[in-house]
Amino acid sequence: MEHRNPVVYPTSSPSLGEEYELSPDESVSIAIIEVVSATEHCSPESLPPLYETLDPDALDNLIESWEKNTARQSGQVSFEYSNSLVTVDDHDSILVEARSESLDTV
């Protein structure tokens, strides 16, 4: 699989993080892996499989349904993946915040 380097934008949040804007027809699940690897300074292959955290197809389908539903006000989904907190919103934006410890222990 060919990996591209995502364009990441520093966030205004006080935590260490990256924000990424999805392009049309881009898989959100693949973009998450790329942005998390950039945030955590590691290769995408060294991350745990995303499917161990959530169903990537279900996430892609959810985001796709958001794009098609103009009656919806707003939405976002957040979850912990690897050592990061990932938030995907209805504006095709992915925010990845690096965590120094698991959210389960906080």
Q: Is 70 exposed, middle or buried (0-12, 13-18, 19+ CB in 10 A)?
A: exposed
| Token pair for 35 | 């942005």
pLDDT digits (tens, 9 = 90+) for 15-72: 457 889 988 788 999 999 999 999 999 999 999 999 999 999 999 888 888 777 766 6
1 occurs within a structural domain: no
Residue 10 scores a pLDDT above 60: no
Judge whether 96 and 15 are in contact, CB under 8 Å: no
85 occurs within a structural domain: yes
Residue 8 scores a pLDDT above 80: no
Residue 2 scores a pLDDT above 50: no
CA distance 26 to 21: 10
Strand partners, 84: 81, 98
Decide: helix, strand or coil at residue 87. Answer: strand
2 occurs within a structural domain: no
65 occurs within a structural domain: yes
56 occurs within a structural domain: yes
13 occurs within a structural domain: yes
Residue 106 scores a pLDDT above 60: no
78 occurs within a structural domain: yes
**Number of structural domains found in the chain:** 1
4 occurs within a structural domain: no
Judge whether 59 and 77 are in contact, CB under 8 Å: yes
- Domain of 45 in residue numbering reads as 9-105
